[in-house]
Amino acid sequence: MSLIEEPRSRVEVPVRPAPPIPYGMLAELTHRCPLQCPYCSNPVELDRRNVELDTETWLRVFSEAAKLGVLQVHLSGGEPTARRDLEQMIRHCVEVGLYTNLITAGVGVTPERLQSISDAGIDHVQLSFQGATAEMTDKVSNFRGAHERKLAVAREVRRLGLPLTVNSVVHRANIHQIPDFIELALALDARRIEIAHSQYYGWALRNRGALMPTRDQVFWALDVVEEARIRLKGVLTIDAVVPDYYAKYPKPCMNGWGRQSLNVTPSGKVLPCHAAETIPSLDFWNVREHSLTDVWLNSPAFNAFRGTDWMPDLCKSCERKEIDWGGCRCQAMAIAGDAAATDPACHLSPLHADLLALAEADAEGTDIYDYRRYFQPDRTG
């Protein structure tokens, strides 16, 4: 009998590659908002003020974000200026080396508050417009006088020397105003305009029949945007987000689940994308119990659809699997009832024809909005 033991067979344990470092974070500071936009993509059930993260927790999250490798943070909501500690957060972001972008509706922001925000070190302001005219803005936002207030804020932003992006969410009622939105951005001396078609999650899904444009409208809009990009190259950057329902290929949602960005809700849940809570099977870790790095690396929600291993065979065998990363998981959930299904926006999906039929039917729908009835904002905070 040999005194030397035979080597035992080794079981190869697959090593999961480390995910890429995120470079962007959406910080939803509050769900409080003075507007009632029917296309709002925030959850149907909003976080109330009494569950919002406190100042110190947000400051820790921003420090952890910078340590994780995040380069830019988008301060959003709801309406982020509803937080009285916004300037303190901005100053802290500057201290830890984060580029800060304020995403605001602008209607309640005074010149004095803008000066304070500028003094705190904000890098960029993104201002939403619901229409290119006062009539359209006020109708869609259900806020009388909103348009004129936004114009005043835009002018003040530029007077302070801050770069400005005009954000215009377009749908059936205002898609014809795209040329006017572009002219508005030029008149306001904006550096960039984002023309974003409504995305049908959260509250917007309820209003899909009142928002969905026709196929002809969408392709007309694409031609208008392309012509403007060529004409205004070097003058105005034009970004466009198209509605997936008329697409041939799905959009690379967030450039891949858990690959480049993360989102922190007002109550502290960390999401791979803004609409991820529409997938009921996912467990979202909270920054109250976990560090941001721990969530990014180890959260079951972030790892659920990261990479390509989770994909159905139709996607795994596709040469575009690392281009569109399987498309939108939330859209697959909304249309197919399965977040792991092939995105119905893909023309190879067995549900693609159903998606087109939905779009065509909704494009003939009512023009009556179910307005986003936010709870009354706390006037003291």
Instruction: List strands edge to edge, sheet with 192-197.
Output: 237-241, 192-197, 164-170, 124-129, 99-104, 72-76, 24-28, 261-264, 270-271
| Alpha carbons 177 and 192: distance in angstroms, whole number | 17
Query: In the numeric block, which tokens belong to residue 59?
Result: 């400051």
78: cis peptide before it, omega within 30°? yes
Give one DSSP letter per residue of 209-225, joined into a string. Answer: HHHPPPHHHHHHHHHHH
Q: Which amino acid is at 221?
A: A
Three-state SS for 7?
A: coil
Give the DSSP H or E segment for 271: strand 270-271
40 is in an annotated binding site: yes
- Residue 33 sits at φ, ψ, to 5 deg, of -160, 140
Strand partners, 263: 26, 271
Residues annotated within a binding site for [4Fe-4S] cluster: 33, 37, 40
Residues annotated within a binding site: 33, 37, 40
